[in-house]
Structures are given as C-alpha cells and as structure tokens.
C-alpha cells in the first residue's frame, strides 16, 4: 500500500464525517470544555489547556519521501508505505469519532495570502479555537465572488490529539506531505504542532515563489518622521516577542511576533492575525502589551499555572506537595507517574533530592517543575497600538537575537554587521543557548536562520537572503545578546555574571535606529561593536553597562581573560565547522570566521 491523496483544493472534505465549519469562538469554547482533556477556565474567563507535550517534537516530524532523497530536506523522512499506514490509522480514528471541526482561513493578507484548511477532532477543539484566532477569515481576503464559491485551500492540516501512532516514538507522528501540502498531526496535543505545521508548509510554498519566510517578529518604527519596518529573528525563548513589543523612536507598533516573509526590495508580508507569546516571567511592568493581551478574555492560554483562585502565576517553577495534590489529576494525565506523585504529596521525597542545580528534575520527576514554556494566543484586536496590517513599510533594520548563557557567555550586547555576507553567515548560524522550550536539554545550539520550520536544505536560506538583500540598499543588519555575560541566572545572584535586561536591549535598539552609536571593529570577529570609550557613546554607557556592550571588559575585570581567549578560539572553530557542514560559500564563511 502506498500513500496517495488528493490536493486540498481538489477534495475539500476527504473524510466521511460531520463537519462543523467555522464555528464562532463561543461555540469552540463550549466544544473544548466538553471534549478536550485538561482545559480549565481562568480568572479572566479565558481557557487554559495543560498539555502532555510541553514543546514541539521536531524529531517526531517526518517528510514523506524515500531515504535516498534525504539530502533534499532538513527533517526526518518517512517512506510512502509507512505514511500510508499512519494515514489509514488516523482516518479510521477520525471516521470512528464522526465529527471534525473545520477552520477555514488565510495565512496573511492581500495578494500573497495563502488559503489553508484545518481539520480537528473534538479532542483537539481547543486547538481549533487557538488556530482560528491566528488566521485571517475569508472575508478579509476574498471578494464577493470568491466568498460565494466553495473554499479552495492551498494547504491542509489534520490534527488528532488523542489518536496514537503505533510503532512511532512516543506513539506520535507529524507527517508532512510537501507534494500535496498536507500535514497530519497524530497523537500530539501541543498547539505549536498546528501553528508550525502550517507555517512549515508556508515556508516551502513561498520560497518557491521567490520569498524567504523569516522566523522573526516585526514592528513599525518611526524615527525623525521616517516610517520603516524592523524584523527580529530568534529561536524560542530568545526574547523575540519581547523585543518586538519594546518601544523605540517616536512611534512603535507591532506588526507580527513570530513569522514574516521577506520579498525583493525589502517588502514584507505577514502571516498571522494575532500573537503567540511566551508567558514565563510575564508582568504588567515589564511587558504590558503581552500581559494585557494574555489576560484578555478572548485569548487562549496553554500550560500556564493557575492557583486555587484561578489566578495565573507566570513565575511558577517548583511545585509544593499541596500544589501537586491540587493538580494531581492533570499531572497523572500529562506525566503518568502515580507512585512518584504520591511519594511527593506524602512527603516521602523532597524536591531538592530530585532537582539539580539548574532546576532540572530527574527522570520520572518532571511533574515537580512547572514548564517555563507556557504560551498565550492573543488576537490582534487585543494588542495595543498594533500596526495597520494593510499598510506595512519596507524593512530598514534586520536583526537576530542570541540568548547567550554560561561561563562562556561573551557575545556583545549589540553587534552591527559589516556586510550582507557577514549577516547571512550569522543568520545561518542562528546561535543561542537552549531554553525552557528545549526541555531538559541545555547548552549552546545553532539553527539556520533560527528556522526549524524550513523543510528543504537549510543552506538555501542563505542563498535566498543574499539575493534579497542585494535588492535592499541601505538595510542595516545587527545581532543582540538577550542573555548573560560570564554566567547564568544563578551566577548573577552570586555576583559572578551580568544579565542583559529588557531595558538594556531597548536602549541599545534606540541608539541603533537613532544612529547614535560610534562603532569600532571587534578584532576577534570582524563585526562592529560599541566603542565604550568614545565620548559619543557616553549616554548609552550610562544606560547599559560597558561590560555588556564589550564583554572583554568584564573578563578583564574578573581576571578571566584566559577563558575569553579560549572562547574565541573554540567559537571560531565551531562556527567554521557548522557553516562548512551546510556547504555555505567561502566568502560568507570568511566574513564570519577569523583565523
């Protein structure tokens, strides 16, 4: 048996079931409360789903093709025979349940918008509600004639949260059919698999049209009367959304918080009608726009801790025995280790005995530490001062975030690239430290263009970026460290490291776009860094510690220059090895790696 299906626009309803087509949000809320496990109502009357998966499962994502074609893709492959088996298992499950929630809409607005159909079983009704928030409805894109005709999706995603995938890791599988632009999510219950499943297919279809989808937030900024767009790339947890919503210049208006598409001439097209924000550490004081959006009754929430009064606790980490008891049914469903849960509730085991210095629990004790990867899905109408999505200026500034952390955290607070080749190289590196979204994994990581969702060969992004930036005279490219200098959070508390705070990042961006920085070449890496001794930078140095702007100052003061010099050697070697593994052109590699 081989996998073979029709394209989405050729067969709108491929399953023999009842379709609940485009229900409103009130109807979806009722369905979610009735059919989706572990959905609870918050104090703010929005719905909060506690999931088994706490992040996307990239290793459980497979593109349909034969193994001999592996070099064409960035993901794992699954052959058509195995794909057919899983397709039939999911189809039988769907038709056995008898009902699908169908959400029709568009990714983006205008001529570059892409039509997509989502199909959810009732156990994933909460995901239908979340996804509907982020889509643009047909009325925003289609004319009267199109609206009178059957919907014609270019993309389709089918989601069955409680259907296992026998024989697959974790009994879950995300199967990606790029030929027919259909993705099947089997057994996962995390919203990121829906959102990113759609955007993965969008990456492919828009790349074939000459664009490049960036895993980036975007905002409109006005400086000296000039309006322009700024894009901010970053992996999960680097501060992409926070930076997107920070205010600079005479006016700042958020455009998108997660993905935009870059086109010739610096044009960008949008993807979503709302925001998908991380909630850990969220406060009204530090991130007022995201906070207010998250507590809006129209928002959806995922994996945020609620106390017994149903109030959100965005800072929750280790649970007390009483808190574990309060959440026992939820924790049994999501983690399943009843013996350990009871041992902790009864006081037989203490948290400090099963959690290490970094806050990572031993296997079997994950339930003790509430995930830091909580999320909110905020409709654009709940985002204060959002930009007019029909009138977006061209891009003038393009940046990337690196949340550096650890003893070898020495990336400067802000860096300006000297050439398009150097920018392409650093965007291709996509460096950061792994965050809470990575689960128990820690340490440095690299992800080309911070883009785990680009399905084809990753180096294609660097080539396309060079093509596009050649059509964008005057664009400025930069990198910002949103993490630490010389250590981690625990080191900061002990006085042995520095934290790059939100106010520091905002001040550095303000100086960048105001053209108020006197730069100098970094001798070790060949990019521009802030000249902390220049009188022209005195105001920036007042707002941001000089050790953050030029970390060598910190390592000199701390008498750790030996560590710094070794870091330079090791980093150059690792960067060259990484870029060469993707067959990146020599001029790009030479612009990044010195020596």
Please name which of 348, 303, 310, 347 lies closest in space to residue 326, comparing C-alpha atoms: 310
Question: How high is the pLDDT of residue 2?
Answer: 61
- 7: helix, coil or strand? coil
Give CA torsion, residues 238, 241, 242, 245, to 10 deg: 150
∠ CA(217), CA(433), CA(377), 5° rounding? 35
Q: pLDDT tens, 478-495?
A: 999 999 999 999 999 999
∠ CA(498), CA(501), CA(507), 5° rounding? 120
Asked if 134 and 276 touch (Cβ cutoff 8 Å), the reply is: yes
Write down all domains in the chain, each with its CATH number in brackets: 18-42+53-209 (3.40.449.10), 213-273+389-485+499-538 (3.90.228.20)
* Phi, psi dihedral angles at 394 (to 5 degrees): -70, 165
Compute the distance between CA of residue 475 and CA of residue 470 in angstroms, rounded to an integer: 10
Compute the distance between CA of residue 25 and CA of residue 189 in angstroms, rounded to an integer: 19
Three-class secondary structure assignment of 77-112: EECHHHHHHHHHHHHHHHHHHCEEEEEEEEECCHHH
Q: pLDDT tens, 334-368?
A: 988 899 999 999 999 999 999 998 789 999 999 99
CB atoms within 10 A of CB 213: 25
Q: pLDDT tens, 170-196?
A: 999 999 999 999 999 999 999 999 999
Compute the distance between CA of residue 532 and CA of residue 538 in angstroms, rounded to an integer: 8
Could you say which residues of the chain have pLDDT below 50?
A: 1, 436-439
∠ CA(354), CA(405), CA(456), 5° rounding? 100
Compute the distance between CA of residue 36 and CA of residue 371 in angstroms, rounded to an integer: 20
Question: How high is the pLDDT of residue 437?
Answer: 46
Please name which of 350, 582, 328, 364 lies closest in space to residue 458, comparing C-alpha atoms: 582
Compute the distance between CA of residue 123 and CA of residue 162 in angstroms, rounded to an integer: 7
∠ CA(412), CA(417), CA(421), 5° rounding? 135
Please name which of 546, 430, 543, 407 lies closest in space to residue 479, comparing C-alpha atoms: 430
Q: pLDDT tens, 216-271?
A: 999 999 999 999 999 999 998 899 999 999 999 999 999 999 999 999 999 999 99
């Amino acid at each position: 048996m081989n996998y073979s299906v029709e394209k989405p626009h050729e067969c709108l309803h491929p399953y023999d079931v009842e379709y609940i087509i485009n229900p409103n949000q009130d109807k979806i809320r009722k369905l979610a409360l009735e059919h989706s496990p572990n959905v609870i109502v918050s104090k703010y009357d929005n719905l909060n789903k506690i999931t088994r998966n706490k992040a996307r499962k990239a290793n459980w994502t497979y593109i349909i093709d034969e193994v001999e074609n592996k070099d064409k893709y960035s993901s794992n492959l699954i052959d058509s025979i195995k794909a057919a088996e899983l397709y039939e298992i999911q189809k039988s499950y769907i038709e056995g349940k008898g009902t699908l929630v169908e959400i029709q809409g568009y990714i983006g607005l205008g001529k570059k918008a892409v039509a997509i159909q989502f199909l959810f079983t009732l156990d994933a009704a909460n995901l239908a509600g979340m996804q509907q928030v982020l889509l643009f409805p047909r009325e925003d894109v289609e004319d009267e004639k199109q609206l009178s005709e059957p919907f014609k999706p270019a993309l389709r995603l089918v989601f069955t949260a409680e259907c296992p995938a026998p024989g697959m890791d974790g009994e879950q599988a995300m199967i990606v059919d790029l030929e027919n632009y259909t993705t099947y999510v089997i057994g996962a219950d995390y919203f990121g698999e829906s959102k990113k499943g759609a955007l993965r297919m969008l990456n492919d279809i828009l790349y074939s049209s000459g664009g490049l989808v960036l895993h980036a937030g975007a905002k409109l900024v006005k400086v000296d009367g000039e309006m322009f767009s700024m894009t901010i790339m970053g992996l999960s947890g680097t501060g992409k959304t926070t930076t997107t919503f920070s205010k600079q210049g005479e006016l700042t208006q958020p455009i998108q918080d997660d993905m935009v598409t870059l086109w010739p001439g610096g044009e960008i097209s949008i993807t979503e009608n709302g925001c998908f924000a991380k909630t850990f550490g969220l406060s009204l004081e530090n991130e007022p726009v995201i906070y207010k959006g998250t507590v809006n009754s129209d928002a959806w929430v995922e994996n945020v801790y609620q106390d017994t009064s149903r109030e959100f606790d965005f800072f929750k980490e280790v649970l007390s025995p009483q808190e574990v008891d309060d959440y026992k049914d939820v924790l049994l469903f999501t983690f399943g280790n009843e013996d350990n849960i009871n041992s902790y509730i009864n006081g037989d085991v203490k948290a400090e005995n099963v959690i290490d210095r970094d806050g990572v629990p031993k296997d079997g004790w994950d339930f003790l530490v509430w995930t830091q990867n909580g999320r909110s899905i905020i409709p654009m109408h709940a985002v204060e001062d959002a930009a007019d999505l029909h009138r977006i200026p061209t891009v003038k500034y393009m940046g990337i975030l690196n949340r550096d952390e650890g003893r070898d955290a020495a990336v400067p607070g802000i860096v300006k690239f000297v050439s398009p080749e150097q920018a392409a190289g650093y965007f291709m590196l996509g460096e950061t430290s792994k965050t809470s979204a990575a689960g128990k994994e820690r340490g440095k990581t690299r992800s080309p263009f911070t883009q785990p969702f680009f399905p084809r060969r990753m180096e294609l992004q660097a080539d396309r970026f060079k093509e596009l930036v050649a059509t964008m005279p005057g664009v400025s490219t930069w990198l910002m460290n949103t993490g630490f200098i010389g250590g981690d959070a625990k080191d900061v508390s002990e006085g042995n490291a520095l934290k790059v705070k939100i106010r520091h990042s905002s001040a550095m961006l303000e100086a960048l776009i105001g053209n108020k920085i006197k730069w100098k070449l970094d001798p070790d890496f060949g990019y521009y860094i802030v000249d902390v001794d220049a009188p022209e930078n005195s105001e920036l140095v007042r707002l941001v510690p000089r050790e953050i702007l030029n970390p060598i100052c910190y390592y000199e003061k701390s008498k750790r220059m030996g560590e710094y010099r070794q870091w330079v050697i090791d980093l150059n070697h690792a960067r060259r090895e990484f870029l060469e593994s993707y067959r990146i052109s020599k001029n790009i590699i030479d612009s990044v790696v010195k020596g």
